[in-house]
Structure 1
Amino acid sequence: MSMPVRTEFAQRMAFEGRLHVRFEAAAAAPDDAQLQALAERNAHLLGAIALLEERRAERERDEDGAMAQELARLDAKLSLLIEIVNRLLAPAASLPPRQPVRFNGLGAEVPAALVPADAAQGRLLLHFDACPALPLELACRVEMAAETAFLAFVQAGEAVEEGLDRFVFRHHRRKLADVRQSTA
């Protein structure tokens, strides 16, 4: 696993938190058609997550007026339906355990215990809280370290890399806003 990818990963902003995470080792690297299918599915999922998170952020704003109240009521109903579907599709018991993870558009760092010692490649599955039933599946190469494994994403596609970086930026921006709000 090339040091330049890991170096660039370390220099970029990254999401750091605990998500439902699983690694599936693979004997062979996926072919181009499989990578393309993964990239398309992941790009759509990242777009859906962005919309779901945007709707939650809008709900948190205080707005006046009958129209805003009606929209908030409809949004709450839609959020409830989404939550019900998520629970039906992926009960909490079927999700992998939460693990500390750090990722951006280039790769991810996960606890080494998640990755078999002899694994050279595989898929990282990230279950986001906004949509736990549909994991983001990222083909990756493995670079082991003492306590962490670095997983360099393989041909994730430009849309997925940008989507992951936007996700990271949104979460970073929310953390800053929370800090400012708590100190005000």
Structure 2
Amino acid sequence: MTPSEAERRLFDEAVACDDRLAFDFTLLPLDARAAGRACDRTEHLLRGLAAAEDARREDPDDSIPEPALARLEAKLDLLIGLVGALAARDAGLPPAVDLRWSRHGLRVQAEIEGEPGATGLVRIQAAHWLPQLLELPARILARGTHADGAAVWLQIEAGAALDTALERHLFRLHRRAVAEARRQAAGG
């Protein structure tokens, strides 16, 4: 498969996010049992993140939060960020790489081992503030160059439940990036 075909397969008609996150890929044959366990752990983590974010936004009156509550939430965000940064430092996360990802897979600006068709396990940071890594079974689709260097296209091989949870997570990340871009455009 060519890089342009892989790009279309992974990102056409899918919510995709560009980011720089901790990432690694371990080349290994994936049996159904090991892949299923990795998918279950990742789905559980993504559902927990979604539940935490949904609970934070729930407001029965859809009104603006009171100033005291807004200050408390801001302090909590700072504390979570600090704890996440300290945990990430101590956890020995893999190096951060530039990547684009969707529920179908990733394009990674990095050199990784393996030829197209080889399988392995992708480990990717779920969010900047969270040192926990998602584990996704994947297959190398293509190798080539993109933008400023070597790139590898990886197709995620997960079931429907993880696919849905991953799509929801990426939608949240995409929505947050769009909101941040708007804030910067309005302020700058």
Alpha-carbon spacing, 1:62–1:181, altered in 2? closer, same or farther (3 Å) = farther
Match of 1:97 in 2: 95
Q: Which moved more, 1:158-167 or 1:102-111?
A: 158-167
C-alpha separation between the residues in 2 aligned to 1:152 and 1:33? 18
Output the CA distance in 2 between the equivalents of 1:96 and 1:181: 31
Is the 8 Å Cα contact of residues 11 and 104 (structure 2) preserved in structure 1? no
Look up the equivalent residue of 2:9 and give its one-letter code. Answer: E
Question: Shift of the alpha carbon at 1:57?
Answer: 7.0
What count of residue pairs does the alignment treat as equivalent? Answer: 173
Q: What's the secondary structure of 1:35's corresponding residue?
A: helix
Q: In 2 relative to 1, CA 46–83 (structure 1 residues): closer, same or farther, beyond 3 Å?
A: farther
| Amino acid across the alignment from 1:125 | R
Q: Structure 1 residues 176 and 78 mapped into 2: Cα distance closer, same or farther (>3 Å)?
A: closer
Given the two structures, how large is their TM-score scaled by the length of structure 2? 0.73
CA RMSD of aligned residues (A): 3.4
1:97 Cα shift? 1.3
Paired residue secondary structure (2:166): helix
Is the CA contact (8 Å cut-off) linking 1:49 and 1:131 kept in structure 2? no
Change (3 A) 1:167 1:85: closer
More strand by share: 2
With normalisation by structure 1, the TM-score equals 0.75
Q: Distance in 2 between matches of 1:79 and 1:52?
A: 16
Local SS of the residue matching 2:130: coil
Q: Which residue of 1 aligns with 2:147?
A: none
Structure 1 Cα separation of the partners of residues 180 and 109 of structure 2: 27
- Cα contact 1:112–1:144 (8 A) shared by 2: no
Contact kept? 2:84, 2:129, Cα under 8 Å: no
Greater helix content? 1
Consecutive unaligned residues of structure 2, counting only runs of 5 or more, are: 145-149
Contact 1:106 1:153 in 2 (8 A): yes
1:32 matched residue in structure 2: 32
Which range is displaced more, 41-50 or 91-100? 91-100
Q: Percent identity?
A: 27
- Counterpart position of 1:80: 79
Cα drift, residue 150 of structure 1:
0.8
Aligned ranges 1:118-137 → 2 under 5 Å? 118=115, 120-127=118-125, 128-132=127-131, 134-137=132-135
What is the CA deviation profile of residues 94-146 of structure 1, one whole-angstrom value per residue up to 9, with x for unaligned ones?
A: 11111001111111111241x114471111100132321x2101111112322
